Chains A and B, each alone.
Chain A
Protein backbone atom coordinates (compact mmCIF):
# COMPACT_ATOMS: atom_id res chain seq x y z
CA UNK A 1 0.00 0.00 0.00
CA UNK A 2 1.35 3.37 -0.99
CA UNK A 3 1.90 5.89 1.79
CA UNK A 4 -0.09 9.08 1.24
CA UNK A 5 2.03 12.23 1.28
CA UNK A 6 0.17 15.38 2.21
CA UNK A 7 1.38 18.89 1.65
CA UNK A 8 0.73 21.15 4.59
CA UNK A 9 2.12 24.64 4.10
CA UNK A 10 5.87 24.41 3.87
CA UNK A 11 5.87 20.83 5.16
CA UNK A 12 5.22 17.40 3.76
CA UNK A 13 3.46 14.87 5.94
CA UNK A 14 3.80 11.16 5.19
CA UNK A 15 1.44 9.20 7.35
CA UNK A 16 2.19 5.47 7.34
CA UNK A 17 -1.10 3.54 7.37
CA UNK A 18 0.03 -0.07 7.72
CA UNK A 19 3.12 -2.20 8.06
CA UNK A 20 5.45 -1.56 5.14
CA UNK A 21 7.43 -4.04 3.09
CA UNK A 22 11.02 -3.14 2.29
CA UNK A 23 10.15 -2.10 -1.25
CA UNK A 24 7.39 0.19 0.01
CA UNK A 25 9.81 1.75 2.44
CA UNK A 26 12.19 2.53 -0.43
CA UNK A 27 9.29 3.84 -2.47
CA UNK A 28 8.32 6.19 0.38
CA UNK A 29 11.89 7.41 0.65
CA UNK A 30 12.18 8.12 -3.06
CA UNK A 31 8.78 9.83 -3.21
CA UNK A 32 9.63 12.14 -0.32
CA UNK A 33 13.07 13.03 -1.62
CA UNK A 34 11.47 13.80 -4.95
CA UNK A 35 8.52 15.81 -3.64
CA UNK A 36 10.52 17.87 -1.19
CA UNK A 37 12.12 19.55 -4.20
CA UNK A 38 8.96 19.74 -6.24
CA UNK A 39 6.97 21.51 -3.51
CA UNK A 40 9.94 23.50 -2.21
CA UNK A 41 9.18 22.09 1.25
CA UNK A 42 11.19 23.08 4.29
CA UNK A 43 10.35 20.08 6.41
CA UNK A 44 9.15 16.50 6.27
CA UNK A 45 7.20 14.60 8.90
CA UNK A 46 7.03 10.81 8.79
CA UNK A 47 4.31 9.50 11.10
CA UNK A 48 4.95 5.88 12.15
CA UNK A 49 2.30 5.66 14.88
CA UNK A 50 0.74 2.50 13.44
CA UNK A 51 3.99 0.58 13.15
CA UNK A 52 4.44 -1.96 15.91
CA UNK A 53 7.66 -3.31 14.47
CA UNK A 54 10.52 -1.20 13.20
CA UNK A 55 13.33 -3.41 11.97
CA UNK A 56 16.89 -2.62 10.99
CA UNK A 57 16.01 -2.10 7.35
CA UNK A 58 13.25 0.36 8.19
CA UNK A 59 15.54 2.18 10.60
CA UNK A 60 18.28 2.45 8.02
CA UNK A 61 15.88 3.63 5.36
CA UNK A 62 14.45 6.27 7.69
CA UNK A 63 17.94 7.43 8.56
CA UNK A 64 18.97 7.57 4.90
CA UNK A 65 15.75 9.40 4.15
CA UNK A 66 16.52 12.04 6.77
CA UNK A 67 20.05 12.52 5.48
CA UNK A 68 18.89 12.74 1.87
CA UNK A 69 16.22 15.27 2.78
CA UNK A 70 18.82 17.32 4.61
CA UNK A 71 20.97 17.34 1.48
CA UNK A 72 17.91 18.60 -0.37
CA UNK A 73 17.73 21.48 2.08
CA UNK A 74 14.92 20.44 4.38
CA UNK A 75 14.52 18.95 7.87
CA UNK A 76 13.00 15.59 8.74
CA UNK A 77 11.28 14.46 11.89
CA UNK A 78 10.00 10.97 12.67
CA UNK A 79 6.93 11.06 14.90
CA UNK A 80 4.79 8.58 16.76
CA UNK A 81 7.27 5.84 17.68
CA UNK A 82 5.49 3.72 20.30
CA UNK A 83 7.16 3.18 23.69
CA UNK A 84 7.50 -0.57 23.12
CA UNK A 85 8.89 -0.01 19.66
CA UNK A 86 11.40 2.51 21.01
CA UNK A 87 12.47 0.03 23.66
CA UNK A 88 12.89 -2.78 21.16
CA UNK A 89 14.78 -0.56 18.74
CA UNK A 90 17.24 0.57 21.38
CA UNK A 91 17.83 -3.00 22.49
CA UNK A 92 18.68 -3.88 18.91
CA UNK A 93 20.98 -0.88 18.71
CA UNK A 94 18.79 0.93 16.19
CA UNK A 95 18.84 4.45 17.49
CA UNK A 96 18.11 6.60 14.42
CA UNK A 97 21.18 8.65 15.09
CA UNK A 98 21.11 12.19 13.79
CA UNK A 99 17.42 12.02 12.94
CA UNK A 100 14.89 14.29 14.58
CA UNK A 101 12.18 12.53 16.58
CA UNK A 102 9.02 13.78 18.25
CA UNK A 103 6.12 12.36 20.20
CA UNK A 104 3.33 12.95 17.69
CA UNK A 105 2.30 15.03 14.71
CA UNK A 106 1.71 18.14 16.78
CA UNK A 107 5.12 17.90 18.39
CA UNK A 108 6.67 17.20 15.02
CA UNK A 109 5.20 20.39 13.60
CA UNK A 110 6.48 22.35 16.60
CA UNK A 111 9.91 20.75 16.12
CA UNK A 112 10.02 21.74 12.46
CA UNK A 113 8.79 25.26 13.19
CA UNK A 114 11.62 25.69 15.63
CA UNK A 115 14.21 24.14 13.32
CA UNK A 116 13.27 26.10 10.24
CA UNK A 117 12.93 29.30 12.19
CA UNK A 118 16.50 29.16 13.39
CA UNK A 119 17.64 28.81 9.78
CA UNK A 120 16.04 32.08 8.78
Chain B
Protein backbone atom coordinates (compact mmCIF):
# COMPACT_ATOMS: atom_id res chain seq x y z
CA UNK B 1 0.00 0.00 0.00
CA UNK B 2 1.12 3.56 -0.61
CA UNK B 3 2.24 5.49 2.45
CA UNK B 4 1.79 9.18 1.75
CA UNK B 5 2.32 10.45 5.29
CA UNK B 6 6.10 10.56 5.17
CA UNK B 7 6.47 12.88 2.23
CA UNK B 8 3.54 15.02 3.31
CA UNK B 9 5.07 15.78 6.68
CA UNK B 10 8.02 17.69 5.29
CA UNK B 11 7.04 21.32 4.74
CA UNK B 12 6.85 22.82 1.31
CA UNK B 13 10.24 24.00 0.13
CA UNK B 14 9.18 27.61 0.04
CA UNK B 15 11.43 30.62 0.10
CA UNK B 16 10.44 34.04 1.46
CA UNK B 17 9.17 35.27 -1.88
CA UNK B 18 7.28 32.06 -2.52
CA UNK B 19 5.42 32.54 0.73
CA UNK B 20 4.50 36.04 -0.26
CA UNK B 21 3.34 34.91 -3.67
CA UNK B 22 1.31 32.05 -2.23
CA UNK B 23 -0.37 34.48 0.12
CA UNK B 24 -1.27 36.72 -2.76
CA UNK B 25 -2.47 33.73 -4.71
CA UNK B 26 -4.69 32.58 -1.89
CA UNK B 27 -6.15 36.06 -1.55
CA UNK B 28 -6.91 36.05 -5.26
CA UNK B 29 -8.60 32.66 -5.05
CA UNK B 30 -10.65 33.75 -2.05
CA UNK B 31 -11.80 36.92 -3.81
CA UNK B 32 -12.96 35.06 -6.89
CA UNK B 33 -14.35 32.10 -5.00
CA UNK B 34 -17.90 32.22 -6.35
CA UNK B 35 -16.92 32.72 -9.95
CA UNK B 36 -14.14 30.11 -10.02
CA UNK B 37 -16.22 27.56 -8.21
CA UNK B 38 -19.02 27.95 -10.73
CA UNK B 39 -16.59 27.72 -13.59
CA UNK B 40 -15.22 24.52 -12.08
CA UNK B 41 -18.64 22.95 -11.56
CA UNK B 42 -19.48 23.83 -15.15
CA UNK B 43 -16.30 22.17 -16.40
CA UNK B 44 -17.08 19.05 -14.35
CA UNK B 45 -20.51 18.75 -15.93
CA UNK B 46 -19.06 19.45 -19.33
CA UNK B 47 -16.46 16.71 -18.98
CA UNK B 48 -19.24 14.38 -17.85
CA UNK B 49 -17.51 13.49 -14.64
CA UNK B 50 -19.34 12.49 -11.46
CA UNK B 51 -22.40 11.40 -13.43
CA UNK B 52 -23.52 9.41 -10.43
CA UNK B 53 -24.15 12.62 -8.51
CA UNK B 54 -26.78 15.34 -8.93
CA UNK B 55 -25.89 18.92 -9.88
CA UNK B 56 -26.57 20.25 -6.41
CA UNK B 57 -24.39 17.59 -4.85
CA UNK B 58 -21.57 18.30 -7.25
CA UNK B 59 -21.80 22.00 -6.42
CA UNK B 60 -21.82 21.31 -2.69
CA UNK B 61 -18.83 18.98 -2.86
CA UNK B 62 -17.11 21.36 -5.23
CA UNK B 63 -17.46 24.15 -2.65
CA UNK B 64 -15.90 22.04 0.10
CA UNK B 65 -13.15 20.80 -2.16
CA UNK B 66 -12.45 24.33 -3.30
CA UNK B 67 -12.21 25.66 0.26
CA UNK B 68 -10.05 22.79 1.36
CA UNK B 69 -7.89 23.23 -1.69
CA UNK B 70 -7.31 26.91 -1.01
CA UNK B 71 -6.65 26.19 2.64
CA UNK B 72 -4.08 23.54 1.72
CA UNK B 73 -2.41 26.05 -0.57
CA UNK B 74 -2.36 28.62 2.21
CA UNK B 75 -1.09 26.47 5.06
CA UNK B 76 1.01 24.06 3.03
CA UNK B 77 -0.11 21.18 5.25
CA UNK B 78 -2.06 18.33 3.80
CA UNK B 79 -3.56 16.79 6.92
CA UNK B 80 -6.94 18.54 6.72
CA UNK B 81 -7.20 17.91 3.01
CA UNK B 82 -6.17 14.31 3.49
CA UNK B 83 -8.87 13.77 6.09
CA UNK B 84 -11.39 15.47 3.85
CA UNK B 85 -10.33 13.39 0.83
CA UNK B 86 -10.72 10.19 2.82
CA UNK B 87 -14.08 11.32 4.09
CA UNK B 88 -15.22 12.29 0.61
CA UNK B 89 -14.06 8.98 -0.83
CA UNK B 90 -15.98 7.13 1.84
CA UNK B 91 -19.13 8.96 0.78
CA UNK B 92 -18.77 8.68 -2.98
CA UNK B 93 -17.23 5.24 -3.48
CA UNK B 94 -20.46 3.37 -2.65
CA UNK B 95 -22.16 5.48 -5.32
CA UNK B 96 -19.89 4.13 -8.00
CA UNK B 97 -17.54 7.07 -8.49
CA UNK B 98 -14.42 5.93 -10.32
CA UNK B 99 -10.78 6.83 -9.72
CA UNK B 100 -10.46 8.66 -13.03
CA UNK B 101 -13.38 10.91 -12.06
CA UNK B 102 -11.86 11.97 -8.77
CA UNK B 103 -8.45 12.56 -10.28
CA UNK B 104 -10.20 14.29 -13.19
CA UNK B 105 -12.06 16.82 -11.08
CA UNK B 106 -9.01 17.72 -9.04
CA UNK B 107 -6.99 18.24 -12.19
CA UNK B 108 -9.84 20.31 -13.61
CA UNK B 109 -9.78 22.53 -10.55
CA UNK B 110 -6.05 22.87 -10.98
CA UNK B 111 -6.58 23.94 -14.58
CA UNK B 112 -9.39 26.36 -13.74
CA UNK B 113 -7.30 28.06 -11.10
CA UNK B 114 -4.24 28.17 -13.33
CA UNK B 115 -6.33 29.77 -16.07
CA UNK B 116 -7.55 32.42 -13.70
CA UNK B 117 -3.96 33.12 -12.77
CA UNK B 118 -3.02 33.48 -16.43
CA UNK B 119 -5.88 35.89 -16.90
CA UNK B 120 -4.89 37.96 -13.88
CA UNK B 121 -1.16 38.20 -14.47
CA UNK B 122 -0.96 38.08 -18.24
CA UNK B 123 0.35 41.59 -18.31
CA UNK B 124 3.39 40.77 -16.19
CA UNK B 125 5.00 37.64 -17.55
CA UNK B 126 7.81 37.46 -14.98
CA UNK B 127 5.39 37.70 -12.09
CA UNK B 128 3.17 35.06 -13.68
CA UNK B 129 6.19 32.80 -13.87
CA UNK B 130 6.92 33.28 -10.18
CA UNK B 131 3.30 32.76 -9.25
CA UNK B 132 3.20 29.51 -11.22
CA UNK B 133 6.43 28.39 -9.59
CA UNK B 134 4.72 28.75 -6.24
CA UNK B 135 1.39 27.39 -7.36
CA UNK B 136 2.32 24.30 -9.36
CA UNK B 137 4.18 22.19 -6.77
CA UNK B 138 1.50 22.88 -4.20
CA UNK B 139 -1.29 22.09 -6.64
CA UNK B 140 0.40 18.89 -7.73
CA UNK B 141 0.79 17.78 -4.19
CA UNK B 142 -2.84 18.44 -3.52
CA UNK B 143 -3.87 16.41 -6.56
CA UNK B 144 -1.57 13.66 -5.42
CA UNK B 145 -2.99 13.68 -1.90
CA UNK B 146 -6.57 13.48 -3.06
CA UNK B 147 -5.85 10.69 -5.53
CA UNK B 148 -3.86 8.68 -3.02
CA UNK B 149 -6.57 9.19 -0.39
CA UNK B 150 -9.19 7.94 -2.80
CA UNK B 151 -7.21 4.90 -3.87
CA UNK B 152 -6.38 4.03 -0.28
CA UNK B 153 -10.00 4.24 0.70
CA UNK B 154 -10.90 1.97 -2.18
CA UNK B 155 -8.24 -0.51 -1.18
CA UNK B 156 -9.52 -0.48 2.36
CA UNK B 157 -13.06 -1.18 1.16
CA UNK B 158 -11.87 -3.97 -1.12
CA UNK B 159 -9.95 -5.53 1.74
CA UNK B 160 -12.96 -5.32 4.01
CA UNK B 161 -15.12 -6.95 1.38
CA UNK B 162 -12.59 -9.70 0.80
CA UNK B 163 -12.57 -10.39 4.50
CA UNK B 164 -16.36 -10.49 4.54
CA UNK B 165 -16.45 -12.86 1.57
CA UNK B 166 -13.88 -15.04 3.22
CA UNK B 167 -15.94 -15.29 6.36
CA UNK B 168 -19.14 -15.94 4.48
CA UNK B 169 -17.50 -18.52 2.31
CA UNK B 170 -16.98 -21.18 4.92
CA UNK B 171 -20.18 -21.94 6.76
CA UNK B 172 -20.06 -25.03 8.93
CA UNK B 173 -23.63 -26.09 9.62
CA UNK B 174 -25.05 -28.57 12.04
CA UNK B 175 -27.91 -30.53 10.49
CA UNK B 176 -28.39 -33.12 13.20
CA UNK B 177 -26.95 -33.78 16.60
CA UNK B 178 -23.28 -34.63 15.92
CA UNK B 179 -23.57 -34.20 12.16
CA UNK B 180 -22.05 -31.20 10.37
CA UNK B 181 -22.14 -30.19 6.75
CA UNK B 182 -19.58 -28.00 5.08
CA UNK B 183 -20.69 -26.84 1.65
CA UNK B 184 -17.75 -25.49 -0.33
CA UNK B 185 -18.55 -23.07 -3.12
CA UNK B 186 -16.13 -21.46 -5.51
CA UNK B 187 -12.42 -21.68 -5.97
CA UNK B 188 -10.20 -22.93 -3.19
CA UNK B 189 -6.79 -21.35 -2.75
CA UNK B 190 -4.28 -22.50 -0.14
CA UNK B 191 -5.28 -19.67 2.19
CA UNK B 192 -8.94 -20.56 2.03
CA UNK B 193 -8.21 -24.27 2.32
CA UNK B 194 -6.30 -23.64 5.51
CA UNK B 195 -9.07 -21.49 6.89
CA UNK B 196 -11.66 -24.10 5.94
CA UNK B 197 -9.76 -26.77 7.80
CA UNK B 198 -9.31 -24.62 10.87
CA UNK B 199 -12.97 -23.67 11.00
CA UNK B 200 -14.06 -27.24 10.48
CA UNK B 201 -11.79 -28.57 13.22
CA UNK B 202 -13.02 -25.89 15.60
CA UNK B 203 -16.63 -26.70 14.75
CA UNK B 204 -16.05 -30.43 15.25
CA UNK B 205 -14.81 -29.66 18.72
CA UNK B 206 -17.55 -27.24 19.74
CA UNK B 207 -20.42 -29.26 18.25
CA UNK B 208 -18.92 -32.58 19.29
CA UNK B 209 -19.48 -33.81 15.78
CA UNK B 210 -18.93 -37.44 14.83
CA UNK B 211 -19.62 -37.17 11.14
CA UNK B 212 -18.89 -34.35 8.71
CA UNK B 213 -20.24 -34.14 5.18
CA UNK B 214 -18.10 -31.94 2.91
CA UNK B 215 -20.04 -31.05 -0.19
CA UNK B 216 -17.97 -29.85 -3.13
CA UNK B 217 -20.75 -29.61 -5.70
CA UNK B 218 -19.97 -25.91 -5.98
CA UNK B 219 -16.29 -26.40 -6.71
CA UNK B 220 -15.69 -26.14 -10.42
CA UNK B 221 -12.09 -27.27 -10.67
CA UNK B 222 -9.71 -29.01 -8.40
CA UNK B 223 -5.94 -29.39 -8.63
CA UNK B 224 -3.28 -31.37 -6.80
CA UNK B 225 -2.95 -28.78 -4.06
CA UNK B 226 -6.64 -28.59 -3.36
CA UNK B 227 -6.98 -32.37 -3.43
CA UNK B 228 -4.14 -32.69 -0.94
CA UNK B 229 -5.76 -30.08 1.28
CA UNK B 230 -8.93 -32.07 1.17
CA UNK B 231 -7.08 -35.22 2.16
CA UNK B 232 -5.41 -33.31 5.00
CA UNK B 233 -8.74 -32.03 6.22
CA UNK B 234 -10.11 -35.54 6.24
CA UNK B 235 -7.13 -36.83 8.19
CA UNK B 236 -7.14 -33.99 10.69
CA UNK B 237 -10.85 -34.52 11.30
CA UNK B 238 -10.21 -38.17 11.94
CA UNK B 239 -7.65 -37.27 14.58
CA UNK B 240 -10.49 -35.49 16.36
CA UNK B 241 -12.58 -38.61 16.07
CA UNK B 242 -14.87 -37.46 13.26
CA UNK B 243 -15.58 -39.33 10.04
CA UNK B 244 -15.63 -37.26 6.87
CA UNK B 245 -17.81 -37.99 3.89
CA UNK B 246 -17.07 -36.06 0.70
CA UNK B 247 -19.99 -35.56 -1.66
CA UNK B 248 -20.72 -33.93 -4.97
CA UNK B 249 -17.60 -34.80 -6.94
CA UNK B 250 -18.48 -33.93 -10.48
CA UNK B 251 -17.47 -36.29 -13.29
CA UNK B 252 -14.84 -33.80 -14.35
CA UNK B 253 -13.33 -33.58 -10.88
CA UNK B 254 -13.38 -37.35 -10.53
CA UNK B 255 -11.48 -37.61 -13.81
CA UNK B 256 -8.98 -34.99 -12.75
CA UNK B 257 -8.33 -36.67 -9.43
CA UNK B 258 -7.75 -40.06 -10.99
CA UNK B 259 -5.59 -38.59 -13.73
CA UNK B 260 -3.32 -36.65 -11.36
CA UNK B 261 -3.19 -39.68 -9.12
CA UNK B 262 -4.18 -38.26 -5.75
CA UNK B 263 -4.49 -40.98 -3.15
CA UNK B 264 -8.13 -40.84 -2.19
CA UNK B 265 -8.28 -44.26 -0.57
CA UNK B 266 -8.81 -42.64 2.83
CA UNK B 267 -11.69 -40.60 1.58
CA UNK B 268 -15.23 -41.68 1.96
CA UNK B 269 -17.11 -40.39 -1.09
CA UNK B 270 -20.79 -40.41 -1.90
CA UNK B 271 -22.46 -39.12 -5.07
CA UNK B 272 -24.54 -36.23 -3.85
CA UNK B 273 -25.30 -34.33 -0.67
CA UNK B 274 -28.50 -36.26 -0.01
CA UNK B 275 -26.66 -39.56 -0.27
CA UNK B 276 -23.95 -38.17 1.99
CA UNK B 277 -26.41 -37.15 4.67
CA UNK B 278 -28.15 -40.53 4.46
CA UNK B 279 -24.82 -42.27 4.81
CA UNK B 280 -23.96 -40.06 7.78
CA UNK B 281 -27.31 -40.82 9.42
CA UNK B 282 -26.57 -44.49 9.00
CA UNK B 283 -23.22 -44.03 10.73
CA UNK B 284 -24.92 -42.15 13.56
CA UNK B 285 -27.69 -44.78 13.73
CA UNK B 286 -30.42 -42.29 12.86
CA UNK B 287 -33.52 -43.52 11.11
CA UNK B 288 -35.67 -41.06 9.21
CA UNK B 289 -39.29 -42.15 8.86
CA UNK B 290 -41.98 -40.23 6.99
CA UNK B 291 -44.74 -39.26 9.47
CA UNK B 292 -47.48 -39.78 6.92
CA UNK B 293 -47.71 -42.46 4.23
CA UNK B 294 -46.12 -41.29 1.01
CA UNK B 295 -48.23 -40.76 -2.08
CA UNK B 296 -47.41 -44.02 -3.81
CA UNK B 297 -48.20 -46.22 -0.80
CA UNK B 298 -51.55 -44.50 -0.07
Which residues of A pack against B, CB within 8 Å?
78-79, 81-87, 89-91, 95-96, 101-104, 107-108, 111
Residues of A within 8 A of B232 (CB): 90-91
Asked whether, in the complex, the Cβ of B235 is within 8 Å of the Cβ of A83, the reply is no
0 or 1 for each of B221-255: is its CB under 8 Å from A? (1 = yes): 00000000000110111111110000000000000
Asked whether, in the complex, the Cβ of A95 is within 8 Å of the Cβ of B241, the reply is no
Residues of A within 8 A of B238 (CB): 95, 101
Indicate whether B144 reaches chain A with its CB closer than 8 angstroms: no
Residues of A within 8 A of B205 (CB): 82-83, 103
Please pick, from B197, B201, B241, the residue contacting A101 in the complex, using a CB distance under 8 A: B241
Shortest C-beta distance, A32 to chain B (Å), equals 20
Asked whether, in the complex, the Cβ of A89 is within 8 Å of the Cβ of B241, the reply is no
Please pick, from A84, A85, A111, the residue contacting B241 in the complex, using a CB distance under 8 A: A111
Residues of A within 8 A of B197 (CB): 87
Please pick, from A79, A84, A103, the residue contacting B208 in the complex, using a CB distance under 8 A: A103
Which of B197, B198, B241 gathers most chain A CB within 10 Å?
Answer: B241
0 or 1 for each of B52-75: is its CB under 8 Å from A? (1 = yes): 000000000000000000000000
Residues of B within 8 A of A81 (CB): 239-240
Please pick, from A78, A87, A102, A108, the residue contacting B201 in the complex, using a CB distance under 8 A: A87
Indicate whether B134 reaches chain A with its CB closer than 8 angstroms: no
CB nearest to B205 among chain A residues? A83
Shortest C-beta distance, A54 to chain B (Å), equals 9
0 or 1 for each of B264-292: is its CB under 8 Å from A? (1 = yes): 00000000000000000000000000000
Indicate whether B204 reaches chain A with its CB closer than 8 angstroms: yes
Shortest C-beta distance, B267 to chain A (Å), equals 13
Asked whether, in the complex, the Cβ of B241 is within 8 Å of the Cβ of A79, the reply is yes
Asked whether, in the complex, the Cβ of B235 is within 8 Å of the Cβ of A103, the reply is no
8 A-B residue pairs with CB within 8 Å: A82-B205, A83-B236, A84-B201, A86-B236, A90-B236, A91-B232, A101-B241, A107-B241
Which residues of B pack against A, CB within 8 Å?
197-198, 201-202, 204-205, 208, 210, 232-233, 235-242
Bound-complex Cα distance A102 to B210 (A): 9
Bound-complex Cα distance A58 to B3 (A): 48
Q: A83-B198, A83-B201, A83-B205 are in contact. Are A103 and B240 (CB under 8 A)?
A: yes
Bound-complex Cα distance A96 to B236 (A): 10
Shortest C-beta distance, A47 to chain B (Å), equals 12
Bound-complex Cα distance A103 to B236 (A): 12
Residues of B within 8 A of A87 (CB): 197-198, 201, 236
CB nearest to A91 among chain B residues? B232
CB nearest to B231 among chain A residues? A90
Asked whether, in the complex, the Cβ of A83 is within 8 Å of the Cβ of B241, the reply is no
Residues of A within 8 A of B208 (CB): 103-104, 107
Asked whether, in the complex, the Cβ of B241 is within 8 Å of the Cβ of A90, the reply is no
Shortest C-beta distance, B200 to chain A (Å), equals 9
CB nearest to A100 among chain B residues? B241
Shortest C-beta distance, B48 to chain A (Å), equals 54
Residues of B within 8 A of A104 (CB): 208
Residues of A within 8 A of B236 (CB): 83, 86-87, 89-90
Please pick, from B201, B237, B239, the residue contacting A96 in the complex, using a CB distance under 8 A: B239
Q: A83-B204, A87-B201 are in contact. Are A101 and B240 (CB under 8 A)?
A: yes
